[in-house]
Amino acid sequence: MDSEMEALSKAAQEIAQVARGMGLDFYPVNFEIVPAEALYTFGAYGMPVRFTHWSFGKAFYKMKMQYDLNLSRIYELVVNTNPAYAFLLEGNRFVQNKLVIGHVYAHVDFFKHNHYFSRTPKDMVERMSAHAERIHDYEIKYGRDKVEKYMDAVLAIQEHVDYRAHIGSLQESDNLGKIDRMSTAQNLNCQSKGCKGNCGGGVVKDLGKGDSVNKTNKKGAASPYEDLWEDMSRDDADVDPLLEYEDLLLYLIKFAPGLEPWQKDIVSIIREESLYFYPQIETKIMNEGWATFWHARIMRELSLTDSEAIEFALMHSQVVQPSRLGLNPYYLGVKIWEHLAEKRSISELFELREIETDLSFIRNHLSKELVEDLNLFNYRKVGAHWQVTENEWEKVRDNLVKQLVNGGHPRIVVLERDFEGKGGLLLKHCHEGIDLDIIYLEKTLALVQFLWGKSVALETVVDNKKFIYESSNGMVSRRLGSKSEENGGK
Amino acid sequence: MADDIIVSRDDWSLHRKGYLDQSRHKEKVEEVIKQQMGDLIVDESIILSDGKKNTKIPMRSLEEFRFRYDFNKQNHTGQGSKKMAPGDILGREQATGKGKGKGSGAGEEPGQDIYEAEVTYEDLANILFEELRLPNLDDKKRPLIAHDRPEFNDVRKKGLMANVDKKRTLLESIKRQAFSKKIEKDKRLKITPEDLRFKTWETRPNFETNAVILAMMDTSGSMGQFEKYISRTFFFWMVRFLRLKYENVEMRFLAHHTEAKEVTEEEFFTRGESGGTRCSSVYKFALDLIEKDYPPAHYNIYPVHFTDGDNIGSDNSRALTLMKNLVEVSQVVGYGEILRTHYSSTLMSTLKRISDPKLRLVTIRDRNEVYDALKTVFS
Q: Interhelix angle for A438-452 vs A144-156, to 10°?
A: 130
Q: Between A140 and A484, where is the model more confident?
A: A140
Classify residue B217 by burial, with Cβ atoms within 10 Å: 0-12, 13-18, 19+: buried
Q: Between A181 and A61, where is the model more confident?
A: A61
Question: Is residue B341 less than 8 Å (CB to CB) from chain A?
Answer: no
Question: Is residue B31 less than 8 Å (CB to CB) from chain A?
Answer: no
Out of A37, A375, A380, whose CB is closest to B15? A37
What's the domain range around B166? 148-205
For chain A, the average pLDDT equals: 82
| Chain A, chain B: beta-carbon pairs less than 8 Å apart | 228
From the list A154, A162, A143, A141, the residue with the least C-alpha distance to A266 is: A154
Within a domain: B99: no
- pLDDT exceeding 90 applies to what percent of chain A? 56
3-class DSSP state of B125: helix
Residues B269 and B288 in one domain: yes
Residue A226 has pLDDT above 70, yes or no: no
Residues near A235 by beta carbon (within 8 Å), at least 6 away in sequence: none
Residue A222 has pLDDT above 50, yes or no: no
Distance from the Cα of B368 to chain A's closest Cα (Å) equals 23
Most confident of A178-182, B147-151, B215-219: B215-219
Residues A302 and A416 in one domain: no
What's the domain range around A241? 124-186+210-281
Alpha-carbon distance of B359 to B353, in angstroms, equals 11
Within a domain: A329: yes
Cβ atoms B212, B250 nearer than 8 A: yes
Q: Between A13 and A194, where is the model more confident?
A: A13
The dihedral over CA atoms of A231, A234, A240, A242, expressed in degrees to the nearest 10, equals 30
Question: Is residue A66 less than 8 Å (CB to CB) from chain B?
Answer: no
Q: Between A167 and B85, where is the model more confident?
A: B85
CB contact under 8 A, A56 and B21: yes
Q: Mean pLDDT throughout A334-354?
A: 94
At B324-376, the pLDDT tens digits run: 999 888 888 999 888 877 676 778 888 888 888 888 888 888 888 888 888 88
Residues A398 and A472 in one domain: no
> Cα-flanking dihedrals φ and ψ of residue B300, to 5°?
-90, 120
Q: Between A456 and A319, where is the model more confident?
A: A456
How much is the pLDDT for A132? 94
CB contact under 8 A, A64 and B91: no
Q: Between B131 and A349, where is the model more confident?
A: A349
Within a domain: B241: yes
Lowest mean pLDDT among A378-382, B62-66, B124-128, B147-151: B147-151
Predicted model pTM: 0.70
What is the side-by-side order of every strand in the sheet holding A412-419? A412-419, A424-429, A456-462, A465-472, A475-480
Alpha-carbon distance of A144 to A441, in angstroms, equals 26
Residue A140 has pLDDT above 70, yes or no: yes
Q: Mean pLDDT throughout B297-306?
A: 86
Alpha-carbon distance of A355 to A363, in angstroms, equals 13
- pLDDT exceeding 90 applies to what percent of chain B? 6
At A278-327, the pLDDT tens digits run: 999 999 999 999 999 999 999 999 888 899 999 999 999 988 888 767 78
Within a domain: B143: no
Within a domain: B372: yes
How much is the pLDDT for A238? 47
Residues B312 and B329 in one domain: yes
Q: Mean pLDDT throughout A431-454?
A: 91
At A51-86, the pLDDT tens digits run: 999 999 888 888 888 888 877 788 889 999 999 999
At B167-190, the pLDDT tens digits run: 999 998 888 888 876 666 666 778
Using only C-alpha atoms, chain A has a radius of gyration, in whole angstroms, of 25
At A240-281, the pLDDT tens digits run: 445 778 899 999 999 998 899 999 999 999 999 999 999 999
3-class DSSP state of A223: coil
How much is the pLDDT for B104? 31
CA angle (A377, A380, A385) in 5-degree steps: 115
How much is the pLDDT for A490? 34
How much is the pLDDT for B314? 85
How much is the pLDDT for B99? 31
- Preceding omega of A48 cis (within 30 degrees of 0): no
Question: Is residue B118 less than 8 Å (CB to CB) from chain A?
Answer: no
Out of B28, B77, B87, whose CB is closest to A399? B77
Residues A266 and A400 in one domain: no
Lowest mean pLDDT among A10-14, A397-401, B148-152, B321-325: B148-152
Within a domain: A242: yes
Distance from the Cα of A252 to chain B's closest Cα (Å) equals 16
Residues B268 and B354 in one domain: yes
Lowest mean pLDDT among A46-50, A185-189, A444-448, B290-294: A185-189
Q: Which residues of A touch B103 (CB under 8 A)?
A: none
CATH code for position B234: 3.40.50.410
Residues B155 and B32 in one domain: no
Place A12 in a pLDDT band, splitting at 50, 70 and 90. very high
Q: Between A187 and B125, where is the model more confident?
A: B125
Residues B41 and B127 in one domain: yes
At B236-257, the pLDDT tens digits run: 888 888 777 777 788 898 988 8
Residues near B367 by beta carbon (within 8 Å), at least 6 away in sequence: B38, B39, B42, B230
How much is the pLDDT for B145? 52
Within a domain: A400: yes
How much is the pLDDT for A190? 35
3-class DSSP state of A403: helix
What is the end-to-end Cα distance of chain A in Å, rounded? Answer: 65
Place A331 in a pLDDT band, splitting at 50, 70 and 90. very high
Within a domain: B7: no
Residues B309 and B214 in one domain: yes
Place A181 in a pLDDT band, splitting at 50, 70 and 90. very low
Cβ atoms A413, A244 nearer than 8 A: yes
How much is the pLDDT for A224? 53
Residue A116 Rama label (left phi>0; alpha psi -120 to 50; beta): alpha
Place B125 in a pLDDT band, splitting at 50, 70 and 90. confident
Question: Is residue A60 less than 8 Å (CB to CB) from chain B?
Answer: yes
Residues A136 and A274 in one domain: yes
Out of B2, B62, B70, whose CB is closest to A435? B70
Q: Mean pLDDT throughout A323-349?
A: 90
How much is the pLDDT for B132? 81
CB contact under 8 A, B79 and A45: no
Residues B226 and B322 in one domain: yes
How much is the pLDDT for A146? 94
3-class DSSP state of A188: helix
How much is the pLDDT for A145? 92
Cβ atoms A132, A140 nearer than 8 A: no
Lowest mean pLDDT among A161-165, A222-226, A380-384: A222-226
Q: Considering its fold, how many domains does chain A have in total?
A: 4
CA distances to A260, B74, B155 from A281, in Å: 31, 20, 63
Classify residue A154 by burial, with Cβ atoms within 10 Å: 0-12, 13-18, 19+: buried
- Residue A253 CB-half CA count within 13 A: 30
Alpha-carbon distance of B372 to B379, in angstroms, equals 10
Q: Mean pLDDT throughout B294-306?
A: 86
Within a domain: B10: no
